[in-house]
């Protein structure tokens, strides 16, 4: 495991190792993948498959797909497999009969998977459900590749500080944040002017507001560049994903909202940029393939040989850019508002969005109502909520629950409201 990774970033203790203080990597590293059956999990397992001699799998987890989890556990000889659905323990045991893989079920088993001694953990559960498992890995000082942005958005007030105190090393796996992670190494905090995270603009980038309002699930799931899980694909269409990423960048790198800009870049080749005081702008480029940022996290502090396609800019021909449209994509505006409000507001933003996306998938609200529900929940919380800083997982989960209940209560009136 990399040592000495805890650094001070400006006057804020950071667990993101912004300077590459290389430590000798042990010959075989043990790894755990939380959310192994998802889209990020799949990319991670693909990278591990290509380097079997360098990595040993400690634990794998999934929500409810026993078959897919057992298949991976068998293939990689995992020591532990955990399924979140508590009713599926015996099915998992049956599927892994004759192997040495121990089995567990329920939320506590997912946390146990994260707490088991692995050098490197991929946190790729979807949604705030990933918070407690990610913290279990952080608390034992592991290297944690963080894909699960919702858990950071939900617990941003204390997540990074707790990671720094535990000596954990947070490796940003989200492509934009991984780009910033790489570009930030070119200068110091005092020299930084701003960071820029790019956005493809999603499938509705050029759509009129009335069409966005009525967009169907099928249309929202057609991302132009990236192949991802359902929740994040819908978040990309609403640009809530970019909003979550603005908040994620703020917490990861201790940046103010004014230091984070979003730039629409439909080709998704430049993932993030950092502007320094001399006006140099450092960018990270790559094909839209999550195996690239994940490989960077997996190999860190070294670089491994990645399986992704090489970038051919001559073939791509043109890289174009546009300013984001905060009016057609209010989810992005709300993220900045939540960040400026602080003290739990980003937790509310995330929780309300999770409720809204689930309601949209279930056909209960229109696409345009996603942002309206988030805004109504945030406004209600700002008016009535207990706005104290969150200092523990229980604090974050309690604000998350209050916001979910409020969003669910507001849902019928938002669903009915004409636009």
Inter-CA distances, 382 with 155, 158, 388, Å: 17, 20, 11
CB burial of residue 373 (10 Å; 0-12, 13-18, 19+): buried
User: If binding means CB under 5 A, how many residues of this protein chain bind Mg ion?
Assistant: 3
Nearest-angstrom CA–CA distance, 204 and 192: 33
Residues at the site binding ligand NAD, with contacts judged by CB under 6 A: 35-41, 61-63, 84, 110, 124-126, 129, 147-150, 174, 226, 228-232, 290
Closest contact distance (angstroms) between CB of 64 and ligand NAD is 7
Rounded Cα gap, residues 254 and 52, in angstroms: 36
Nearer to ligand NAD, 106 or 301 (CB): 106
The residue with tokens 């174009």 is 320
Q: How far apart are the first and last CA of the chain?
A: 53
Tell whether 150 is in a known binding site: yes
Binding of residue 174 to Mg ion (CB under 5 A): yes
Q: Which is nearer to Mg ion, 30 or 238 (CB)?
A: 238
Q: Which does 226 bind (CB under 5 to 8 A by kind): Mg ion, ligand NAD, none?
A: ligand NAD
Q: Beta strands 270-276 and 192-199: pairing type?
A: antiparallel
Counting contacts by CB under 5 A, is residue 58 touching Mg ion?
A: no
Pick the closer one to ligand NAD by CB: 182 or 410: 182
Least Cβ distance, residue 132 to Mg ion (angstroms): 23
- Asked if 289 interacts with Mg ion (CB under 5 A), we say no
**Judged by CB, which is closer to Mg ion: 141, or 156?**
156
Could you tell me how far CA 273 lies from the centroid of its own chain?
Answer: 18
CA distance 336 to 338: 5
Q: Which residues contact 97 (CB under 8 A, 6 or more apart)?
A: none
User: Is 176 marked as binding a ligand?
Assistant: yes
**Closest CB 29 distance from Mg ion, rounded Å:** 25
Q: Which residues contact 316 (CB under 8 A, 6 or more apart)?
A: 267, 269
- List, in sequence order, every residue forming a beta bridge with 260; answer none if it has no partner: 195
Residue closer to ligand NAD, measured from CB, 38 or 243: 38
Whether residue 277 is annotated as binding a ligand: the answer is no
Structure tokens at 46: 């693909």
Residue whose CB is less far from ligand NAD, 41 or 344: 41
* Residue 392 assigned as binding residue: no
The site partner of 228 among Mg ion, ligand NAD, none (C-beta below 5 to 8 Å per kind) is: ligand NAD
CB of 3 closer than 8 Å to CB of 300: no
Annotated binding site: 37-40, 65, 148-150, 174-176, 200, 223, 229, 236, 241-242, 245
Residue numbers of the site for Mg ion (CB under 5 A)?
Answer: 174-176
Annotated binding site for 1-deoxy-D-xylulose 5-phosphate: 149, 175-176, 200, 223, 236, 241-242, 245
């Amino acid at each position: 495991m990399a040592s000495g990774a805890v650094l001070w970033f400006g006057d804020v203790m950071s667990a993101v190792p912004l300077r590459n203080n290389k430590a000798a990597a042990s010959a075989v590293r043990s790894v755990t993948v939380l959310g192994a059956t998802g889209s990020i999990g799949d990319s991670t397992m693909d990278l591990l498959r290509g380097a079997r001699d360098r990595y040993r799998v400690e634990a794998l987890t999934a929500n409810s797909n026993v078959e897919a989890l057992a298949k991976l556990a068998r293939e990689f000889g995992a020591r532990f497999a955990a399924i979140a659905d508590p009713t599926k323990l015996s099915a998992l045991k049956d599927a892994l009969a004759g192997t040495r893989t121990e089995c567990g079920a329920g939320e506590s088993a997912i946390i146990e998977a994260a707490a088991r001694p692995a050098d490197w953990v991929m946190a790729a559960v979807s949604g705030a459900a990933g918070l407690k498992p990610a913290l279990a890995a952080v608390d034992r000082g592991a290297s944690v590749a963080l894909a699960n942005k919702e858990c950071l958005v939900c617990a941003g007030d204390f997540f990074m500080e707790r990671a720094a105190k535990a000596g954990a090393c947070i490796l940003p796996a989200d492509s934009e944040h991984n780009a910033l992670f790489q570009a930030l190494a070119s200068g110091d905090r005092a020299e930084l002017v701003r960071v820029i995270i790019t956005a493809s603009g999603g499938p509705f980038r050029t759509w009129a507001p009335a069409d966005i309002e009525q967009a169907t699930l099928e249309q929202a799931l057609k991302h132009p560049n990236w192949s991802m899980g359902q929740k994040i694909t819908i978040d990309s269409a609403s640009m809530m994903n970019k909003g979550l990423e603005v908040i994620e960048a703020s917490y990861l790198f201790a940046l103010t909202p004014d230091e984070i800009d979003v730039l629409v870049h439909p080709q998704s080749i430049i993932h993030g940029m950092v502007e320094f005081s001399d006006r140099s702008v450092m960018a990270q480029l790559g094909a839209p393939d999550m195996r690239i940022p994940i490989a960077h996290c997996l190999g860190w502090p070294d670089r491994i040989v990645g399986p992704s396609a090489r970038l051919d800019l001559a073939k791509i021909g043109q890289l174009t850019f546009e300013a984001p449209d905060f009016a057609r994509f209010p989810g992005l505006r709300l993220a900045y508002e939540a960040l400026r409000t602080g003290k739990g507001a980003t937790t509310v933003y995330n929780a309300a969005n999770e409720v809204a996306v689930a309601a949209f998938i279930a056909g209960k609200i229109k696409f345009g109502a996603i942002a309206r529900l988030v805004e109504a929940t945030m406004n209600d919380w700002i008016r009535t909520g207990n706005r104290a800083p969150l200092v523990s997982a229980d604090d974050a989960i309690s604000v998350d629950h209050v916001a979910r209940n409020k969003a669910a209560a507001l849902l019928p009136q938002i669903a009915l409201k004409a636009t």
